[in-house]
Amino acid sequence: MDSAAVKNRKLGDWIAEVAAMCRPDSVYVCDGSKEEYDRMIGKLIAGGSATPLRKRAGSYLFRSDPSDVARVEDRTFLSTSSKDAAGYTNNWIAPDELKTTMKSLYEGCMKGRTMFVIPFSMGPIGSPISKIGVEISDSPYVVVNMHIMTRVGLKVMELLDRGEDFVPCLHSVGAPLAQGRKDVSWPCAPIERRYISHFPEENLVWSYGSGYAGNALLGKKSLGLRIASAMARREGWLAEHMLVLRMTSPEGRQYHIAGAFPSACGKTNLAMMQPSLDGWKCECIGDDIAWMKIGPDGRLHAINPENGFFGVAPGTSYATNPIAMDTIRENAIFTNCALTDDGDAWWEGINGDLPAHLIDWKGRDWTPDSKEDAAHPNARFTAAAAQCPVICKDWENPEGVPIDIFIFGGRRGSVVPLVHEAFSWEHGVFLGATSASETTSAIIGAVGNLRRDPFAMKPFCGYNICDYFQHWLTMGERLGDKAPKIFYVNWFRKNEDGKFLWPGFSENSRVLKWMCERVDGKLGARKSPIGLLPLEGDLDLSGLTLSPPDVRELMSVDAAEWKAEIPDIEAYLTSLGSRLPETLKSQLRDFIERLG
């Protein structure tokens, strides 16, 4: 589509402004069609960026520059009128300073390239919970991924033509091409010249220098969480780093569950879980982001604003997540995975026999004697949500699904029991605000350290995290007795020998069943200093071979261990600054008092 055909005046003016600054060779407005996708893939194959996978129909492998393999939190910025508005969990730069820096980088940055205009909807097109964005990018890799991860195309353009507002998202790989110069397979800028910048007061995203993941697919973390969370606070809704699933009982009762977990805590596995319990059924609505608004019934209704999955490949297998494996059998994009000799994607943890030879993610020969992994630890797959065998029939319901349960969690080898329920909404917010995980190789920091990640939103909250806590408290007041129940889980508790006490995966359905029965008032609970625990015999363990001592350890709450955590909790909350809500200070005092 020619940019001259754009009817939305704000969009037309913005396209002209960016083109004048970035000076591309041409401008192309995406229509979201299959023909367009295939044409982009053909361009990427011809340029040496994409490798067709013979073993997976319609699937392609990409290898990034070795310096451009993940989100770069230290190059991600939140630019607000005051530093205090951004808070202590964000990298802040004043708007004028940041824009001056980035405009100098954008000057002529698209020379030799096509400027793609990508109109997209986050959420079902026309849903009262959805938002429209437009990403301008000089990367065809971004175009094909945005085709999968968002709803791109003419239906979105029709809304824009009728005057619908949008969030401008500007992206460039930061690698202008001199006339006659051959392009590289993965253009990007040096790390120190990369900026992923957010201006939440203006609903604006500017990204420069990286072609990868959330740095470049600006509908995901940038609009989906950082900008959306700030919009949600202003407009009275929630934008959360949460999976959403539907669990249906043997009697046909439906429960909708939203869960927030930091990295390496099994979030995608839970979103696609197949219950081990007879008669129970789980369906996936979303694996990463939930947008939730209070509906006419006074309940919180959620949509998955994304259109696909951008999942971590290593560790994904038919043993850990068979549904994800079936989802990516065809029509998928793989990035920084290894390539088998018969033309398939491969990664560590995929199971099966170890290949005698591979081409690794850097394009080198690999054998079992090689010293480095064949796939990058953050290698990814991109696949449409509609391909998921257990996608819920209501996943695109424009009204969303009513949330019954919130789950927070972390990876803890000790201290935290398998499951406990918050005493109240305010206590649940305290649990979310103080949630923590022991760091693994997937989480930044020394392995084994305790990392506080409130609501799993620490890298993604688009404003002061203390104000975010207050927003949750305010939402609870608005919801009243229609607020979802809040629970906290820990699938990762270990025994003295360092072995996991809980089998996890499909067996996690047993914990979810207990939550559902608590929602219905079918089961009681025993009070502990940290929350409400299952009564003996209420957690369905039928068919499991857990020993009584292991069960007791899974559910144990040691006051002395929790007292030892108090200084760390106090120090963390203090580090967030003076805007911490009084309610959370009161919750901390109550917690200390309960510990005795």
Tell me the pTM: 0.97
540: how many CB neighbours lie within 10 A of its CB? Answer: 17
Digitized pLDDT (tens) for each residue of the chain, 596 residues in all: 677 678 899 999 999 999 999 999 999 999 999 999 999 999 999 999 999 999 999 999 999 999 999 988 999 999 999 999 999 999 999 999 999 999 999 999 999 999 999 999 999 999 999 999 999 999 999 999 999 999 999 999 999 999 999 999 999 999 999 888 899 999 999 999 999 999 999 999 999 999 998 999 999 999 999 999 999 999 999 999 999 999 999 999 999 999 999 887 889 999 999 999 999 999 999 999 999 999 999 999 999 999 999 999 999 999 999 999 999 999 999 999 999 999 999 999 998 899 999 999 999 999 999 999 999 999 999 999 999 999 999 999 999 999 999 999 999 999 999 999 999 999 999 999 999 998 754 444 444 589 999 999 999 999 999 999 999 999 999 999 999 999 999 999 999 899 999 999 999 999 999 999 999 999 999 999 999 999 999 999 999 999 999 999 999 999 999 999 999 999 999 999 999 999 999 999 999 999 99
Q: How far is it, in rounded angstroms, from Cα 97 to Cα 27?
A: 29
* CATH assignment at residue 123: 3.40.449.10
Instruction: Concatenate the DSSP letters of all residues of 377-403 into one string.
Output: TT-EEEEEGGG-TTB-TTTT-TT-EE-
Q: Do 462 and 521 share a domain, yes or no?
A: yes
Q: Give the β-pairing of 243-248 and 167-172.
A: unpaired
Q: Classify 349 as helix, strand or coil.
A: coil
Instruction: Return the pLDDT at 504.
Output: 95
Is there a domain that residue 37 lies in? no
3-state secondary structure 168-224: EEEEECCCCCCCCCCCCCCCCCCHHHCEEEEECCCCEEEEECCCCHHHHCCHHHHHH
Is there a domain that residue 286 lies in? yes
Query: 241-271: buried (b, 16+ CB within 10 Å) or exposed (e) per residue?
Result: bbbbbbbbbeeeebbbbbbbbbbbbbbbbbb
Quick check: is 188 catalytic?
no
Domain boundary among 333, 364, 387: 387
Q: Do 198 and 245 share a domain, yes or no?
A: no
Q: How far is it, in rounded angstroms, from Cα 13 to Cα 136?
A: 13
Q: Do 193 and 148 share a domain, yes or no?
A: yes
Is there a domain that residue 54 lies in? no
E strands in 319-435: 333-335, 338-340, 345-346, 358-359, 365-366, 380-384, 401-402, 405-409, 419-421
Placement of tokens 């820990």 in the chain: 490
Q: Do 207 and 89 share a domain, yes or no?
A: yes
Instruction: Return the pLDDT at 258.
Output: 98
Q: Do 18 and 89 share a domain, yes or no?
A: yes
Instruction: Return the pLDDT at 6.
Output: 86
* CATH assignment at residue 373: 2.170.8.10
Instruction: Return the pLDDT at 429.
Output: 98
Domain boundary among 204, 235, 266: 235
Q: Which two three-digit tokens encode residue 596? A: 């005795």
Query: 411-436: buried (b, 16+ CB within 10 Å) or exposed (e) per residue?
Result: bbeebbbbbbbbbebbbbbbbbbbbb
Residue 162: CB partners within 8 Å, gap ≥ 6? none
pLDDT tens digits, one per residue of 393-409: 999 999 999 999 999 99
Q: Give the β-pairing of 76-78 and 195-199.
A: parallel
Is there a domain that residue 457 lies in? yes
Q: Do 556 and 475 share a domain, yes or no?
A: yes
Q: Which two three-digit tokens encode residue 296? A: 């006419």
Q: What is the residue type of 77?
A: F
Please choose, from the candidates 172, 169, 155, the residue with its C-alpha nearest in 3D space to the C-alpha of residue 113.
Answer: 172
Q: Do 485 and 363 share a domain, yes or no?
A: no
Q: Do 163 and 296 share a domain, yes or no?
A: no
Active-site residue identified among 265, 282, 337, 466: 265
Number of independent structural domains in the chain: 3
Enclosing domain of residue 530: 239-304+395-595
Q: Do 346 and 250 share a domain, yes or no?
A: no
Q: How far is it, in rounded angstroms, from Cα 269 to Cα 186?
A: 30
Is there a domain that residue 61 lies in? no
Instruction: Return the pLDDT at 447.
Output: 46
Instruction: Concatenate the DSSP letters of all residues of 433-476 into one string.
Output: HT-EEE--TTSSSSTT-EEE-GGG-TTT-SS-HHHHHHHHHHHH
Q: Which two three-digit tokens encode residue 473? A: 């408290």
* CATH assignment at residue 461: 3.90.228.20
Query: 207-230: buried (b, 16+ CB within 10 Å) or exposed (e) per residue?
Result: bbbbbbbbbbbbbbbbbbbbbbbb
Is there a domain that residue 112 lies in? yes
Domain boundary among 196, 213, 235: 235
Q: Do 94 and 217 share a domain, yes or no?
A: yes
Q: Do 224 and 171 share a domain, yes or no?
A: yes
Is there a domain that residue 40 lies in? no
Q: Do 25 and 135 share a domain, yes or no?
A: yes
Is there a domain that residue 48 lies in? no
CA 228 from centre of chain: 13
